[in-house]
Chain A
């Protein structure tokens, strides 16, 4: 037996100690993420100052001082401007957005017929949501209904003129509805057209190739505004006397042409990414050009360029706001037009309207881009390096 007399030796294990303050929890996180080096600290401080300068007034303007309901401009104007608010008040005029909300959504669509728009919207959501959630079955049927049947129903419902539905002129259309119709029809038209143009551009037939290249590059080289101007001012000149298009249709043609050119380039990118072996394999199986393209190349190419297509769509969605310049009232246009309403004109109205429409645009675009990232991950079959 041995005596344990060595007093300087511990008899029992020391309990595990908590890590030093600087190495755990919030402090560690702060140290690593915010104050790692002196330069980092300076940047953090600058960032905090910026936040302190921007956030409180922003939150105050958006929520605390904001006016949510009210009958007219008096709730959003200061006393010296002829309103009810104390001088020096500044806040969002959500009452304006509230009062005009329906107009922002559908424009001046005949009031008694607005149920038709709501119905189309409900149908659209009901068809789109199941399509977007991967777990829900019957994707093929769903897609056929959404892309084949739904447009016809939507067209009949929105335009009217048959089955006892009164005809609603496109003049009266406006707001988010126009934005959505323009961008969805634009994308629906531009996808097949873009595929054709992209195939044409990669064609071995010189005339076909030249025509496609000229079209794509001419459209891509100029701003959308000029394409829209061309569609609205020059299209009537190109047509025989007496044949006129609806203004809405003209804008649609302009938007679709523009989107097709961009879509063609996106799809061409996908086509180029397909390894040569796929083409040769298809040829060796004796497939014709269209069989090869439709069965082998396009399915792979389109899957590759889904992010690109979504990006084009987001761009198109944002670009529809330019139809305002040719005198149509999409969401941004109708918000902008309502600034002039005497009943609501105040110093806060423009900013409130812009923030609202900005938020709606942001919601759609951000949602789409997130969904595309999600889809990209799901569809990623691991061909990447």
Chain B
């Protein structure tokens, strides 16, 4: 019922102030607002907070009444807008896209939490547990970012998104960070206006079958004539069509909008095989009635580097997410764990000291816009990459996914973090 009490409430409200005109038609106004808002963030964080509280509740009032409710200092800003608008008008036209998304960090700090887009339900990666708390490998990354910023991994809110909504949610600013097994592709990097902050899981599309019902099948090439369950609107659906076409095989697609529906259909025996990213297959296998009956076939038919995505045009925010991921990987490399992070602070090893921000007058953390003990906070909050992996999807979890490509580079995998120095 409420217009989201986020930073946007502000522009919604001002957008309709009578002084501007009943129905603003001029695009430059919108842009000017964005540009001004960006400047205001620094000065009016406190005011913003009270403003936001009000914005969440006063929706039943008309906008004119709302205007009276604006704190006095805010009214000044509204006035300022009109003068600035004229000056900025033309110049701001070109920076519209970036202006809308800039200064995510300030925004996050002001509202006091990170809004993170995750999968609706993918066991091991992101799914609510019995208490309704979100857990999983992708969720851990969100928590790590929250820990790096606030020193508290719980200062994060989750928006479950499906395949279709995830991009609009990020574009519109509904979420600050998308950590939802999203494949890094050129078109998503460019035309959709995102940046990928790294790869937290190297994946590929595979097939799963019920080995009990189909004992003879041990390769995807034997699936000719099979009914195959696939989620619609994903690259998976297209890869599937391409793979069967390339191999001259017949198949019968059974498509659904939602992951849960595909799972249910596969489990009920509607299809012979299930195709999605292999990590997803392992996760879905768990939710089936008899997980041990199902096997994942060896073929990988696509490259799916999955990683967290942020909006284009905010390099600082991108850096924070990127280096949070790297810090987790580096911590594993250096042997820093959730359990020993406090001891490690006193380690004589200069590498570890540098990572944990224990070097005298280190500026590594503050340069990133965070505190110097940001890595300590991350590791305390969620552990290192390996710990998070094992706890959520590895041997410590029911999924039991092997590290494989996701092992550290020193152990024959692809996980290689840039050095913190």
**Interface residues in chain A, defined as those with a beta carbon under 8 Å from any beta carbon in chain B:** 77, 81-82, 108, 110-111, 152, 155-156, 159, 161-162, 167, 169-172, 181, 185, 233, 236, 240-246, 248-249, 252, 325, 327, 336-337, 339-343, 345-347, 350
Instruction: Name which residue of chain B comes closest to A73, CB basis.
Output: B289
Judge whether A339 and B1 touch: CB under 8 Å: no
- Closest CB of chain B to A109's CB: distance in Å? 9
A252 interface neighbour in B1, B96, B123, B264, Cβ under 8 Å = B1
Q: What residues of A have a CB within 8 angstroms of the CB of B223 in the complex?
A: none
Show 16 A/B contacts (Cβ-Cβ < 8 Å), sorted by A.
Answer: A110-B132, A159-B56, A161-B5, A167-B56, A171-B160, A242-B100, A244-B174, A325-B257, A327-B120, A327-B162, A327-B258, A342-B286, A343-B130, A345-B287, A346-B289, A350-B264
A242, B4: Cβ atoms closer than 8 Å: no
Known A167-B56, A248-B1, A249-B2: A243·B12 in contact at CB below 8 Å:
yes
A240 and B289 contact, CB distance less than 8 A: no
Q: A241-B96, A342-B287 are in contact. Are A162 and B264 (CB under 8 A)?
A: no
B1 and A243 contact, CB distance less than 8 A: no
Min C-beta distance of A119 to chain B, whole Å: 17
Contact yes or no, B267 A337, CB < 8 A: no
Chain B residues with Cβ below 8 Å from A242 are: 8, 11, 30, 33-34, 100, 172-173
A327 to chain B, nearest CB (A): 5
CB-contact partner of A240 in B11, B130, B160, B264, under 8 A: B11
Q: Which of B131, B162, B172, B290 contacts A81 (CB 8 A)?
A: B290
Q: Which of B168, B264, B288 contacts A236 (CB 8 A)?
A: B168
Q: List A contacts of B260 (CB < 8 A).
A: 336-337, 339-340
Q: Bound state CA distance, A346 and B288, in angstroms?
A: 9
Q: Kindly supply a per-residue 1/0 record for chain B positions 1-36, scoring 1 wherever the CB is within 8 Å of any chain A CB and 0 otherwise.
A: 111111010011001000000000000001001100
* Complex alpha-carbon distance, A73 and B402, angstroms: 28
The answer to whether B1 and A82 touch across the interface, beta carbons within 8 angstroms, is no
Bound: A167/B53 CA distance, A? 9
A-B pairs, top 7 by smallest CB distance, nearest first, are A340-B260, A161-B56, A342-B287, A162-B57, A244-B172, A108-B132, A240-B30
Residues of A within 8 A of B286 (CB): 342
Residue B128, interface by CB 8 Å: yes
- Once bound together, how far apart are the Cα atoms of A212 and B34, in whole Å? 36
Partner of A241, one of B100, B168, B257: B100
Residues of B within 8 A of A181 (CB): 1
Given known contacts A336-B260, A337-B121, A345-B287, A241 and B165 CB-to-CB distance under 8 angstroms: no
Q: Which of A81, A156, A246, A339 sits near B264, CB closer than 8 Å?
A: A339
Note all chain B residues with C-beta closer than 8 A to A240: 11, 15, 30
Tell whether B74 is near chain A: CB-to-CB under 8 Å: no
14 additional contacts (CB under 8 A) given A244-B8, A337-B121 = A77-B289, A111-B132, A156-B57, A162-B56, A236-B172, A241-B96, A243-B8, A243-B12, A244-B6, A244-B172, A244-B174, A245-B3, A252-B1, A342-B288
> When chains A and B are docked, how far (Å) is the Cα of A185 from the Cα of B86?
42
A345 and B288 contacting across the interface, CB-CB below 8 Å = yes
User: In the complex, which residue of chain A has the Cβ closest to the Cβ of B59?
Assistant: A155
> Given the complex, which residues of A lie within 8 Å of B263, measured CB to CB?
340
B227 at interface, CB cutoff 8 A: no
Residues of B within 8 A of A (CB): 1-6, 8, 11-12, 15, 30, 33-34, 53, 56-57, 60, 96, 100, 120-121, 123, 128, 130-132, 157, 159-160, 162, 165, 168, 172-174, 257-260, 263-264, 267, 286-290
In the complex formed, the residue of B with least CB distance to A103 is B132
Q: Tell whether, in the assembled complex, residue A246 and residue B132 are in contact, meaning their CB atoms are under 8 Å apart.
A: no
B9's nearest neighbour on chain A, judged by CB, is A243
Cβ 8 A contact of A159, one of B1, B30, B121, B289: B1
A347 to B121, CA, bound (A): 20
Docked pose: A325 CA to B246 CA in angstroms? 34
Residues of A within 8 A of B131 (CB): 111
CB-CB under 8 A from B3, the residues of chain A are 244-246, 249
B4 to A, closest residue via Cβ? A246
Cα separation A350 to B265 with both chains bound (whole Å):
11
A152 and B162 in contact (CB under 8 A), knowing A82-B290, A161-B53, A244-B173? no
Residues of chain A contacted by B162 (CB below 8 angstroms): 327
Chain B residues closer than 8 Å to A248, beta-carbon distance: 1
| Chain B residues whose CB sits within 8 angstroms of the CB of A108 once the complex forms | 128, 132
CA distance A248 to B159 in the complex (A): 13
A244 partner residues in chain B, CB cutoff 8 A: 3-4, 6, 8, 172-174
- A295 to B160 CA separation, bound complex (whole angstroms): 50
Query: For residue B172, which residues in chain A have a CB less than 8 angstroms away from its CB?
Result: 236, 242, 244
What's the Cα separation between A296 and B15 when bound, in Å?
41
Chain B residues lying within 8 Å of A162, measured Cβ to Cβ, are: 53, 56-57
CA–CA, A181 to B165, complex, Å? Answer: 23
A243 touches B11 (CB 8 A): yes
Distance between A171 CB and nearest chain B CB, rounded to angstroms = 6
Known: A161-B53, A236-B168. A170 touches B1 (CB 8 A): yes
- Whether A241 pairs with B267 at a CB distance below 8 angstroms is no
Within 8 Å CB of B289, what residues of A? 77, 81-82, 345-347
What residues on A are CB-neighbors of B264 within 8 Å?
Answer: 339-340, 350
Q: In the bound complex, what is the Cα–Cα distance between A77 and B2 (angstroms)?
A: 43
Which B residues touch A185, using CB under 8 A? 1
Q: A167, B5: Cβ atoms under 8 Å? A: yes
Nearest CB in chain A to that of B285: its residue: A342
Return chain B residues, CB-CB under 8 Å to A110: 132
Identify which of A236, A336, A342, A346 gathers the most chain B CB atoms within 10 Å of its CB: A342
Residues of A within 8 A of B4 (CB): 244-246
Q: Which of A108, A152, A236, A242 has the most CB of B within 10 A?
A: A242
Closest A residue to B56 using CB positions: A161
Interface centre among B1, B121, B286, B290 (most CB of A within 10 A): B1
Smallest CB–CB gap between A282 and chain B, Å?
32
Nearest residue in B to A111 (C-beta to C-beta)? B132
Q: Which residue of A lies closest to B13 (CB)?
A: A243
Distance between Cα atoms of A242 and B99 in the complex (Å): 10
Q: Which residues of A contact B5 (CB under 8 A)?
A: 161, 167
Among B1, B30, B96, B160, the residue within 8 A (CB) of A246 is B1
C-alpha gap A181/B2 in the complex (Å): 13
Which residues from A are CB-within-8-Å of B174?
244
